[in-house]
Structure 1
Amino acid sequence: MTDSPALRPEDEVAELCRDLIRIDTSNFGDGSGPGERAAAEYVMEKLTEVGFDPEYIESAPGRANVVLRIAGEDPSRPALVLHGHTDVVPAAADDWSVDPFAAEVKDGMIWGRGAVDMKDMDAMILAVVRDMGRTGWRPPRDLIVAFFADEEAGGKLGARYLVDNRPDLFEGASEAISEVGGFSVEIDGRRAYLLQTAEKGMAWLKLVADGTAGHGSQVNPDNAVTRLAGAVHRIGEHSWPMHLTKTVQQLLDGVAELTGTSYSAEDPESIGRLVDALGPAKKFVGATLRTGANPSQLDAGYKANVIPGRATATVDVRYPPGQEDATMATLAELAGEGVSIEDIHRDIALEVPFSGNLVDSMVAAIDAEDPGSVVLPYMLSGGTDNKSLSRLGVTGYGFAPLRLPPELDFAGMFHGVDERVPVEALHFGVRVLERLLRTS
C-alpha cells in the first residue's frame, strides 16, 4: 500500500479497526487461545510502513507485545504512555447475530469482538501515530506507544511482564492514557464525557472446602460440597456497605448539578436516582458504589454416588480504593470454618486526580470537537493495564474518546454479545486524540 500525503487519521481509522477485529486474539486465560502474534505483526507492519522502528517482544510463544518510543519536541519533559491491548475475551458465535470476527459494517457501526474492548482505541492510536510518521509532526514530549498482550487475563504476559522485565521501555514516563473513559452519555439532555480517574481493585479468588470422601449412600456430616455451597451462598448474597470515594463523589456532584437535583451520602435512593440519570453508563457507575463479589465457577466430584473430599469455587471480587483489607477480612468471615481462600490473581485499586495539565488537555480536546459538553470523572468497575504501569509510578487515565448515540448500551458492549462501535464515533475519537497528543 502506498500512503497518500493527504491521508488523514479519520480516513483510515475504521479500516484499521476492522482489520484488527478480523484477527482472532481470543484470550481464554489458560494459554489455549491463538495469542496476539498476528495482531502484533499487523501493528508492526503499520508502524514500520510509515518509517517507525517499533520493538516486538514475546513474553511466551505467541504472546506478543509491541512498543514504540517517539521523540518529542521537549525531551526534558516526562514521557506520556499511550497504550492499548490487542487480546479480546472469547465470543460464542452462536449467540451473535453476526460473525464476531468478520468486522461487518451495519447500521453505521462496526460489529465484532473487540469493537469497544479495545480494538477501536488501538485503531485510533495507530491512525494518529501513522499520521505522525507520514507528515513528520511530533508530540510536545516523548510518546511511548504500547500494544499489550494478555490484558483480559490480568496482564501477566503483557503489561505486567514488561513492567517487571523491561522497565527501561517506560523510562521517564509519568502519565498514561488508555481505556475505558472519554465516552459520552446524555444527562438531562446535556452531553457529558466520562473520564476515568479511578478503577476498582480486583481479587480473583479460589474457595477450597475440604471434607471426608465417601459413598453417596452414607450419612456424611463432613461434606465438602455442602460446606462450599454455604460459603458461596453467603458471599454471593452478602450486602456490601456503600463506600463513596472522592472520584465517585465528584461524579455525583456533577450529575446533580446537570440535573438540578441533590443527594445525600446517607440516602441510597437519592444516589440511585443520580446513577439512573447516566442511562446505559449506570452499569459501570452503579458497580463502583461498593465492593462486589460474584461467584463464577464451581468444581467438585467425579461421580454421582461418590462424595468428594474437596470442592472448589472461584469468586470475582472488585473493591473500591482503600477497601482491600476490609474486603478480604469480610470474605474470610463469610467463607467460614473449613473453607480456605487462595489467590488466583490480585491487583490494586487506583485513584488519581481529576486535575493537572493532562486532564486540562483532555477536557480542552473534547470541548474543541464538541463545544458545550462537559467532562466528569468516574471510576471503572473493572481494571486496566494502568494497574501494572502504576508500579513504575505512572499515573494512568482512561480516555478512549467516543461520541455515542444516547440510546446505545455502551457499557453492555464490553464482553457482551453483538459488540459494536459507531463509525462516526471513531472519526470523532481520532480527532480528539490527535488534538490531545499535539498539545499534551
Structure 2
Amino acid sequence: MIEPVEQLCARLIRFDTTNRGHGQGRGERDLAELVADLLTDAGLKPVLLERAPRRSNVIARLSGQRPDLPALLVQMHLDVVPADPEEWAVDPFGGEIRDGFVWGRGAVDMKDMCASVLTVLARWAEQGRTPLRDIVFAFVADEEDTSDYGAHWLIKDHRELFEGCAVAIGESGGYTVPTRRPDGSLAHLYPVGTAERGTAHLLLTATGKAGHGSRRNDDNAVVKLVDALHRLAAHQWPVVLTPAVREFIERTAATLDVPVDWDDVDGTIARFGPAVKLVENTVRNSTRPTVLSAGYKVNVVPGVAQAQVDTRVLPGTEEWMLSDIDNLLGPGIRREFIANQPPVQSPIESPWFDAMADAIRAQDPEAVVIPYCMGGGTDAKAFSKLGIECYGFAPLLLPEGFDYRAMAHGVDERVPVEGLRFGVEVLDGFLSR
C-alpha cells in the first residue's frame, strides 16, 4: 500500500532540518536516511554524501528504457529555514494535517516536492514501470544558505553523478496562480521558471579618519558610507525585458485581456492581479542595503564603516550594472563580493518546456502555462554550471486566494492536500515521458 502523499509530506516535515546558516543547524542526516530507505524500497540504489558530518545529500539514478537519450535531473533540497514556534498557530515541525492542508516548515519549500517525487517512485515500483530516459534524483543539503554543503559541493567533487543530464527541474514553478479577468472569469496561470536573476551579495567598505565625536571631521567613514547607500537605494534601475519577462508579460496580458503598453511596463503589470507578484521584481535589477556595521562607542568616530547589499542581476546586465553601482558609490568606497552567482536562463521554445505544459494541461485543461523569471535564487545556479538547462517546475494545484508566495519562509506555512495530489499526477505524467 502506497502511503498517501499528504501523509508522507507530513512525515518529512516532522524531521527538523533547520538551516541557520554558517554551518549551524541540526543537519539533514536523519531525513536523508529516511529518503534513502524510501528510494531503496522503490528499487533504486541511493548514495549518501557528506562534506561535513550530518550535512547529508542523497543521490540516486533510475535507468530508463532509452539510455541513449539525454538524462533528466530532479533536484530538491532537504533543509528548511528557521521557524519560531511562538509565532505559529501549530507546531512548525508537527506535520499536522487539518482543514485540507499539511502544515509545517517546509510544506512548500520544499518537502512537498520531495514527497511528490517519492510518491511517484513508489507508484512506479508497485506497477513495474520505468521512465523513458535515465533520471537522476538529488535530495540535497544547504540550499537555504550557501549550498556549500550541497549542490555547489556536489558539482565540484561529485559531478560524475550528473553525467549525461541535459535538463533539470526544481523548485518554484508549475503551481496555480488563479487570476480574475476584467469580466470576472477565472484564469488558471501556471508559471514555469525559465530564468533566475543572479545573486551578487556585496560588501561595501568606507574608510576615513577616526577621532572624537565632538570634533569636526570631514573624513567620516560613516557619513561617506551613508551617503553612498542613499544614492544606491534611491536609484531607479531601468526596465530590462529579458526573454522570460517579455514572454510572461505578453502571454499573461493576452490571457487576462490586458492591453500591453511597452512604454509603461509598471502600469501594464499592475493590472495583472495576483500575477503581478511573479513579475514586479524581475522587470529590473535591484540593490537593497540589508546590513550595517560601524563604530563601537557613541563618542568615537570610527575609521571604518561597512554595509552589505543584496543585489539581484537580470541575465545579460551584469557588466553595466556593476559599472553603474561603482558610479553611484563614488570614490572612497571599496566594493567586493560576499557571494556572486550569475543569472540562469534556459530556453522557452523547448520540447522540455512543452512537455511540462502538456503534463499540467493533462490534469487541468484550462491551464495557461507561462514562462517566468524568478526574482530570487535556487540550486539551479549550481547545476547550470554543468551545462544543464534548469527549470522551476514543482507542480501544485492552489485555490484562489491562497497566498503561496507568502508561505515559503513565512509563518503558518502550509500546502493544500489536493494540491499535493495534483502535483503527483503532473510529475508522474512528465517524468514518465
TM-score (ref. length: structure 2): 0.95
Task: Determine the C-alpha separation between the residues in 2 that align with 1:253 and 1:180.
Answer: 21
Task: Determine the C-alpha separation between the residues in 2 that align with 1:226 and 1:95.
Answer: 37
The answer to whether the 8 Å contact 2:221/2:302 transfers is yes
> Where in structure 2 are the equivalents of 1:165-184 lying within 5 Å?
165-184=157-176
Range with bigger deviation, 235-244 or 74-83: 235-244
Please list every run of at least 4 consecutive aligned residues from structure 1 whose deviation after the TM superposition is greater than 3 angstroms: none
1:292 aligns with 2:278: no
The answer to whether the 8 Å contact 1:284/1:411 transfers is no
2:259 equivalent in structure 1: 262
2:297 equivalent in structure 1: 303
1:12 equivalent in structure 2: 4
**Which of 393, 404, 413 pairs up with 1:410?**
404
Task: Determine the C-alpha separation between the residues in 2 that align with 1:336 and 1:107.
Answer: 55
Structure 1 residue 351: deviation in Å? 1.7
Q: Indicate how the Cα distance of structure 1 residues 394 and 308 shifts in structure 2: closer, same or farther if over 3 A, else same.
A: same
**Which of 98, 119, 127 pairs up with 1:127?**
119
The answer to whether the 8 Å contact 1:27/1:90 transfers is yes
**Which of 320, 325, 329 pairs up with 1:326?**
320
DSSP 3-state at the match of 1:67: strand
2:229 equivalent in structure 1: 232
Task: Determine the C-alpha separation between the residues in 1 that align with 2:19 and 2:412.
Answer: 18
1:435 equivalent in structure 2: 429
Supply the AA of the counterpart residue of 2:408.
F
Structure 1 residue 334: deviation in Å? 1.8
Structure 1 residue 282: deviation in Å? 2.4
Structure 1 residue 242: deviation in Å? 0.6
**Unmatched segments (≥5 aa) in structure 2:** none
1:282-315 deviation line (CA, Å, top 9, x unaligned): 2232101100111111112222222222121111
Q: Indicate how the Cα distance of structure 1 residues 299 and 252 shifts in structure 2: closer, same or farther if over 3 A, else same.
A: same
DSSP 3-state at the match of 1:183: coil
**Which of 36, 51, 76 pairs up with 2:28?**
36
2:371 equivalent in structure 1: 377
> Where in structure 2 are the equivalents of 1:240-259 lying within 5 Å?
240-259=237-256
Structure 1 residue 269: deviation in Å? 4.5
> Where in structure 2 are the equivalents of 1:337-416 lying within 5 Å?
337-416=331-410
Supply the AA of the counterpart residue of 2:139.
F
1:314 aligns with 2:308: yes
**Which of 330, 339, 346 pairs up with 1:336?**
330
1:209 equivalent in structure 2: 206
Range with bigger deviation, 262-271 or 140-149: 262-271
The answer to whether the 8 Å contact 1:199/1:349 transfers is yes
1:109-161 deviation line (CA, Å, top 9, x unaligned): 12222111111111111111222333331110000000111112232221111
1:67-105 deviation line (CA, Å, top 9, x unaligned): 000100001011000110111122233332322222222
Root mean square deviation, CA, Å? 1.6
1:421 aligns with 2:415: yes
Structure 1 residue 431: deviation in Å? 0.8
Task: Determine the C-alpha separation between the residues in 2 that align with 1:92 and 1:300.
Answer: 29
Supply the AA of the counterpart residue of 2:113.
M
The answer to whether the 8 Å contact 2:266/2:280 transfers is no
How many pairs align? 428
DSSP 3-state at the match of 2:25: coil
Structure 1 residue 33: deviation in Å? 1.5
The answer to whether the 8 Å contact 1:88/1:152 transfers is yes
Supply the AA of the counterpart residue of 1:213.
A
